[in-house]
Amino acid sequence: MAANMYRVGDYVYFETSSSTPYQIRRIEELIKTPNGNVEAKVMCYYRRRDISSNLISLADKHQSVVEELEKSKDKEIDQAKESANKETKDPVKDPARDPIQEAPKVLASLSEKERHQLKHRELFLSRQMETLPATAIRGKCQVTLLNETETLGSYLHKDDAFFYSLVYDPAQKTLLADKGEIRVGSKYQAEVPPWVAPSDRSPSPEIERDTLTYSPDHGLDDKTIDQFLVICRSVGTFARALDCSSSVKQPSLHMSAAAASRDATLFHAMDVLHRQNYDISKALCSLVPTSGPVLCRDEMEEWSASEANLFEEALERYGKDFNDIRADFLPWKSLKSIVDYYYMWKTTDRYVQQKRVKAVEAEFKLKQVYIPNYNKNESSLSNLSSSRLCESCYTSTSGQWYSWGPAHMQCRLCSLCWPYWKKYGGLKFPTKMEAVGSVDLSTTGNGATLIPSASSSARGLPAAALVGLPSPNPGVPPLGAAANLALVQQLATMKDGPCRCPMCGKEFKQKAHLVRHCITNHGLNMNLPTAATPNPCMPLSLMRSSSPRPIVKTRAAFYLHTTPQTKQLRRQCKAIIKPRHAARNPFSSVDLATIRLEMQTKPLVGIVPKKMKNRGHVVDVSHRLGMPQIPKPEFLLPTPPEKMYKAFPEAFPHKASLKRAAAQDAAIAAKRLALQSDFSNTPVPANLSVASVPAAAIKSTRKHIGNWNPTQGNQPDDQFFKATSSIKKVRKTKLSLLQIRRFARRATKYAFNMNKPNLAP
Amino acid sequence: MATNIQHSKKRVCYYYDGDIGNYYYGQGHPMKPHRMRMTHNLILNYGLYRRMEIYRPHKATQEEMTKYHSDEYIRFLRSIRPDNMSEYNKFMQKFNVGEDCPVFDGLYEFCQLSTGGSVAGAVKLNKQATDIAVNWSGGLHHAKKSEASGFCYVNDIVLAILELLKYHQRVLYIDIDVHHGDGVEEAFYTTDRVMTVSFHKYGEYFPGTGDLRDIGAGKGKYYAVNFPLRDGIDDEQYTEAVFKPLMTKVMEMYQPSAVVLQCGADSLSGDRLGCFNLTLKGHGRCVEFMRKFNVPLLQLGGGGYTIRNVSRCWTYETAVALGVEIANELPYNDYFEYFGPDFKLHISPSNMANQNSPEYVDKIRTRLFENLRMLPHAPSVQMQTTPEDAIDTDKAKAEDDEAADSGKNDEQRISIRHSEKRVANEEEFSDSEDEGSGQRRDMRTHKPKRHKKGSQGGDTEDTSDAKTEPDTKEEKADAKA
Ligand SMILES: [Zn+2]
Ligand SMILES: [Zn+2]
Ligand SMILES: [Zn+2]
């Protein structure tokens, strides 16, 4: 049971094609889709065979040089250590080191078979995310960052254990170590002060710069302090009874007592104790000076009900951007008091209500999912009777056989070697056949000229990828590398403002939001520049490993980039791919090996550009039924401005129309009053009426839920809505008659932004 | 309410400014200074407040900050505001301010208060006016000399350690935040007067440093200790297999006269950014363990992004510092609703998988022990004279503790058990017999020196096991004798 329960953070095998090895992924998120399916958002790990051999051999070759360098450096360092005092720099850790090559001594102790199998255990982390259906999960595995204390051999003895040490960037085709660096030099280290011998120490006549606010060295016992605290609360309750504004807010004694028991009173009590030198009687007297009993109120109590309403409305509109909330809604409050209030507001019932709504949303994010064992007949089961031996272990007997490799070669694996192939992506023994297999099955440097970049990412992907259909989880098309870099640079230099992508131009208040937007909506890849030469104008913080925050969650991450070569391939191998069939069956797999063989054997067919058919403009087709020549009927033509209806300016309005307007106002006011009984008589702040005016009334219509909180008493307040001249102007100029009518009828339903009145409601 | 159960009372100074909770990093930012205020209110309502000296720290001056940071960087922090950010575009990139480390209202004041508390704590410890100083607003361990990083702008830890170094020859820094304490490690990477020990998640994780192989450079070689961990480590493994054995060894080998403990609470289970599976008990056990060494201790905050758990944790660790036990039932306070639905102090671990196999942890620990064995037993300059202050406080403490004798035995028993474990390990992995015995000889030869001024240290030989703990233990015995 537990074995089939998959949780966020688990490393799992995914089957995306029956003939290829599983893909190794880490579950980052489990999402329940509206139709009840579960999707897994996963982080991709690549196998050695998934990465071009050029890159692997480059890293390997590079490594041997580094090895030599390090050895000699280590010697130097040991010598340097003897001669102490000199500052020596530690061996420079090269970004690209491959553990398999790194430990030749260890490897020497392994048999050739083990060395061969070890290569199947090495993975490369990528920061690429994709979304896969959870039903394609085929079991758990374990992926760990290789640690030098571990022997590589230990991985061979564990099933489903993999290691990684390098990060692969599939877009840039680079490998690098994900490793920060401690820098050495006067620019980085602290200057350590000399130690002062006790005899040389000055008797520290320093003035105490920190303020003592409480000291435990007093004669009072716990009980006395507790009693004193009770008295402070009582005084506070009495003070609220005397205070007019409090008695309005807290109509019951119970509420006053609750308000007087908040932490502000208690902190004050401790302060008083300290200031009166822990003399209880003095402290008591200072609680009730001649001016009246001391009243301590925190922000929660200080704020009026109308301010609370304004705050909630602002929060709904602006989110937790307290600077903007202050500027546009509560300019008479300090930012500190708004933040203070916010955190207290979160303890109220109103917030709890909102949280429940959020909790329902969160239900779609699952913590775990149960996937039963996969027992379906695998399509790779070979029915061919053949005398061929297992390609991996050369056995001739097996209960079941699985066809493996390109179809025309009719290779097959036994029932033991097949799961090995699926899990580890290789054959158990280094054979000639595997060399063939790797030419056929994995991307090689040479192959790259024929079936380039796209192939490595396309292999193992469903047919949809090759055909270019949107996959069931359409990803965001990635930007080209150049465009990506340009965008990253732009982001680096700009602070906020509109998105610079063509056809977008969305405005953002904060750069972080803008970056997030670009990543999710435009497929911006922040990691690209890290892989390339570090770009000096890139702020470090744009990269993942430089931020403690998790990487931006993208909606989906497997995408298709159709290169010209892929396009050509589609055309040339039409018979094998059967694009129409594949389009209808996006998940059926395409036999890449055969395709490759086809590409290698047949001469290249130059692409014959197809003649473009003139099908007319799509707009014309859709709007005019493909007959743009038909003259527009008169009713489709816009009314010329001079024929537009103009309201007759009423210099001396009729009494009747005035009455009508008054009645309308009264009706609106009555409705609003009924809906929000406690909107206070505080006038609407001036800037509110400029920046965003509710269509006919103030929008906040949330009913109060019975709330014990003393500050949220249900006091009906008088209120009125004053139409200022600017509002009147808007009504006259920016609103259509229809809109005004609609607003008048449903005064509380609509709100609109003064600046963009046309967008309302 | 808090009840005194534990024997050893210690003087605790606690630094807090009532304004700290009102600084706001910005919408959606996981760092919330409000967690310090939640902690403070819990501390009040648990009755811990009345057992400590409470200080409102001074605002650290530019001069204080530039004891480590570059002038230009601090000047920049002082000048930048949300409304003049555009004028500082170039500098913002240079100093890595803007994204994770945003410009917010009162940024500089926030740094001043956080730093002020930590430095004030260090001064207090230097004056021997307290045993433990606590500043939950500090512990911002990622800040670099001229660069903000990982929500940290001014490295209050480095500044506090620099203060301690005036009076202490060797300062030990311990970091139990889930992230590597890179800022502190970098600042003291080439000195042997500060040893930095960090336990952290390593591998595809911020800040990317903290490899087992990063051990310091130059004179500081072997004085940086990094324990890389994987996801999901639990209380038992973290404290018993990782923290205690390593710290026992470090205390024995390095013998610091002051300890700075960064208690980042993002290593707790369920943290918004973390990936460990610790509860308050495991986290707090580390604090408790370090407290028992009776070395001046500066206890700082740090990361922690599930704020209800952060305030639980730091409240609990304040109680640990005081040596009092507090009820699991949370007292009513202004933020009580945050702690629903259970309203309990302690949290439960999750069912996440622990990816740290016992073998993995063993191997790392062994490797670190090997590195620690490279330390010279009497760290060069430091042993010339004995710091008077350390001995004086220890004596005072020993007197304090006399009333609670039974408890001390308890402590000793624990330490002995650990030393056995340690010795076993040492036997198992030591390269040669000679090396091992030579080290022990070294220990003995330098011990009496340290006790020169500590009255009649006759019984250093009888408790060879107790040597795993710092000399304070023996000095206590001395004082009694
Ligand atoms: Zn076989
Ligand atoms: Zn955009
Ligand atoms: Zn952290």
Predicted confidence at residue A361, as pLDDT, reads: 65
Cis bond leading into B341, ω under 30°? yes
Chain B residues whose beta carbon lies within 8 Å of the beta carbon of residue A150: 360, 363
Q: Given pLDDT bands bounded at 50, 70 and 90, which one contains residue A592?
A: confident
Pairwise CA distance, residues B371 & A362, whole Å: 47
**Digit-coded pLDDT (tens) for B349-371:** 998 889 999 999 999 999 999 99
Query: Is there a binding annotation on residue B266?
Result: yes
Q: Given pLDDT bands bounded at 50, 70 and 90, which one contains residue A709?
A: very low
Comparing alpha-carbon positions, the chain B residue that sits nearest to A224 is B50
Predicted confidence at residue A646, as pLDDT, reads: 64
Chain A residues whose beta carbon lies within 8 Å of the beta carbon of residue B82: 323
Mean pLDDT throughout B392-401?
42
Cα of B177 from ligand 3 centre, angstroms: 5
Predicted confidence at residue B121, as pLDDT, reads: 96
Predicted confidence at residue A403, as pLDDT, reads: 82
Q: Would strands A122-133 and A161-169 be described as parallel, antiparallel, or unpaired?
A: parallel
Across the interface, whether the CB atoms of A320 and B336 are under 8 A apart is answered no
% of chain A exceeding 70 in pLDDT: 55
Query: Is there a binding annotation on residue B179?
Result: yes
Closest CA to A235 of A293, A301, A284: A293
Whether residue B290 has pLDDT greater than 90:
yes
**Digit-coded pLDDT (tens) for A25-45:** 999 888 888 888 888 899 999
Lowest-pLDDT choice from A106-115, A156-165, A246-255 = A106-115
**Digit-coded pLDDT (tens) for A730-742:** 777 877 888 878 7
% of chain B exceeding 90 in pLDDT: 70
Distance from CA of A750 to the nearest CA of B (A): 27
**Digit-coded pLDDT (tens) for A652-663:** 545 555 555 555
CA A68 remoteness from chain centre: 43
Whether residue B85 has pLDDT greater than 80:
yes
Whether residue A672 has pLDDT greater than 60:
no
Contact A380, A402 (CB under 8 A): yes
Nearest ligand to the CA of B275 is 3
Mean pLDDT throughout A9-27?
88
When CB atoms are compared, the residue of B56, B99, B162 closest to A542 is: B99
Pairwise CA distance, residues A140 & A9, whole Å: 11
Contact A488, A583 (CB under 8 A): no
Whether residue B455 has pLDDT greater than 60:
no
Comparing alpha-carbon positions, the chain A residue that sits nearest to B145 is A188
Pairwise CA distance, residues B447 & B441, whole Å: 10
Write the CA distances from B325 to A466, A496, B50, B286, integer angstroms: 65, 50, 14, 16
Contact A166, A176 (CB under 8 A): yes
Query: Is there a binding annotation on residue B100?
Result: yes
Q: Given pLDDT bands bounded at 50, 70 and 90, which one contains residue A407?
A: confident
Which site among B93, B119, B195, B225 would you substitute to test the A interface, given the most A Cβ atoms closer than 10 Å to its Cβ? B93
Place of tokens 């877009």: A171
CA B78 remoteness from chain centre: 28
**Digit-coded pLDDT (tens) for A295-353:** 888 888 889 888 999 998 998 888 888 988 998 899 999 999 999 999 999 888 777 77
% of chain B exceeding 70 in pLDDT: 77
Which site among B17, B276, B334 would you substitute to test the A interface, given the most A Cβ atoms closer than 10 Å to its Cβ? B334
Distance from CA of A185 to the nearest CA of B (A): 9
Predicted confidence at residue A176, as pLDDT, reads: 78
Pairwise CA distance, residues B7 & A176, whole Å: 54
DSSP state of A137: E
Q: Given pLDDT bands bounded at 50, 70 and 90, which one contains residue B2?
A: low
Comparing alpha-carbon positions, the chain A residue that sits nearest to B90 is A493
Where is pLDDT greater, at B325 or A178? B325
Which residues of B are designated catalytic? 142
Interacting residues of A79 by C-beta distance below 8 A, sequence separation 6+? none
Cα of A328 from ligand 3 centre, angstroms: 35
Which site among A102, A147, A297, A316 would you substitute to test the B interface, given the most B Cβ atoms closer than 10 Å to its Cβ? A147
Chain B residues whose beta carbon lies within 8 Å of the beta carbon of residue A167: 204
Chain A residues whose beta carbon lies within 8 Å of the beta carbon of residue B86: 495
Distance from CA of A356 to the nearest CA of B (A): 13
Adjacent-strand bridge partners of B135: B300
Across the interface, whether the CB atoms of B230 and A145 are under 8 A apart is answered yes
Mean pLDDT throughout A732-753?
73
Mean pLDDT throughout B96-121?
94
The first and second tokens of residue B381, run together, are 């300059």
Backbone phi, psi, residue A381, to 5°: -55, 130
Q: Given pLDDT bands bounded at 50, 70 and 90, which one contains residue A630?
A: low
**Digit-coded pLDDT (tens) for B24-47:** 999 889 999 999 999 999 999 999
Contact A267, B16 (CB under 8 A): no
Pairwise CA distance, residues A53 & A448, whole Å: 10
Predicted confidence at residue A574, as pLDDT, reads: 80
Q: Would strands A122-133 and B194-201 be described as parallel, antiparallel, or unpaired?
A: unpaired
Calculate Rg over the CA atoms of chain A.
37
Whether residue B198 has pLDDT greater than 60:
yes
The first and second tokens of residue B190, run together, are 């080439």
Nearest ligand to the CA of A397 is 1
Give, in degrees to the nearest 5, the angle at Cα B321 between B320 and B322. 90
Cα of A438 from ligand 1 centre, angstroms: 17
Predicted confidence at residue A624, as pLDDT, reads: 54
Closest CA to A12 of A148, A97, A132: A132
Cα of A462 from ligand 1 centre, angstroms: 27
Nearest ligand to the CA of A413 is 1
Comparing alpha-carbon positions, the chain A residue that sits nearest to B224 is A182
Q: Given pLDDT bands bounded at 50, 70 and 90, which one contains residue A79?
A: very low
Across the interface, whether the CB atoms of B335 and A347 are under 8 A apart is answered yes
Comparing alpha-carbon positions, the chain B residue that sits nearest to A193 is B166
Predicted confidence at residue B8, as pLDDT, reads: 73
Pairwise CA distance, residues A273 & A295, whole Å: 16
Question: Burial letters for B219-229: b for 16+ Cβ neighbours within 10 Å, e otherwise?
Answer: bbbbbbbbbbb
Q: Given pLDDT bands bounded at 50, 70 and 90, which one contains residue A198?
A: confident
Predicted confidence at residue A754, as pLDDT, reads: 55
Burial class for B122, CB neighbours closer than 10 Å (0-12, 13-18, 19+): buried
Q: What is the mean pLDDT of chain B?
A: 81
Across the interface, whether the CB atoms of B45 and A184 are under 8 A apart is answered no
Chain A residues whose beta carbon lies within 8 Å of the beta carbon of residue B228: 147
Contact A150, B363 (CB under 8 A): yes
When CB atoms are compared, the residue of A222, A263, A339 closest to B333 is: A263
Q: What is the mean pLDDT of chain A?
A: 69
Where is pLDDT greater, at A129 or A621? A129
When CB atoms are compared, the residue of B58, B191, B334 closest to A262 is: B334
Predicted confidence at residue A616, as pLDDT, reads: 61
Nearest ligand to the CA of B207 is 3
Q: Given pLDDT bands bounded at 50, 70 and 90, which one contains residue A747?
A: low
Cα of A542 from ligand 3 centre, angstroms: 18
Predicted confidence at residue A280, as pLDDT, reads: 93
Pairwise CA distance, residues A159 & A419, whole Å: 11
Across the interface, whether the CB atoms of B99 and A511 are under 8 A apart is answered yes
Whether residue B384 has pLDDT greater than 80:
no
Mean pLDDT throughout B55-78?
95
Across the interface, whether the CB atoms of B26 and A9 are under 8 A apart is answered no
Where is pLDDT greater, at A212 or A500? A212
Pairwise CA distance, residues A325 & A313, whole Å: 9
Cα of A19 from ligand 1 centre, angstroms: 16
Q: Would strands B224-229 and A411-414 be described as parallel, antiparallel, or unpaired?
A: unpaired
Closest CA to A131 of A471, A556, A474: A556
Distance from CA of B413 to the nearest CA of A (A): 31
Distance from CA of B71 to the nearest CA of A (A): 12
Where is pLDDT greater, at A246 or A160? A160
Q: Given pLDDT bands bounded at 50, 70 and 90, which one contains residue A557?
A: very low
Whether residue A234 has pLDDT greater than 70:
yes
Where is pLDDT greater, at A483 or A674? A483
The first and second tokens of residue A122, run together, are 């090495």
Q: Given pLDDT bands bounded at 50, 70 and 90, which one contains residue A635?
A: low
Q: Given pLDDT bands bounded at 50, 70 and 90, which one contains residue B387?
A: very low
Tell whether pTM > 0.90. no
Across the interface, whether the CB atoms of A339 and B99 are under 8 A apart is answered no
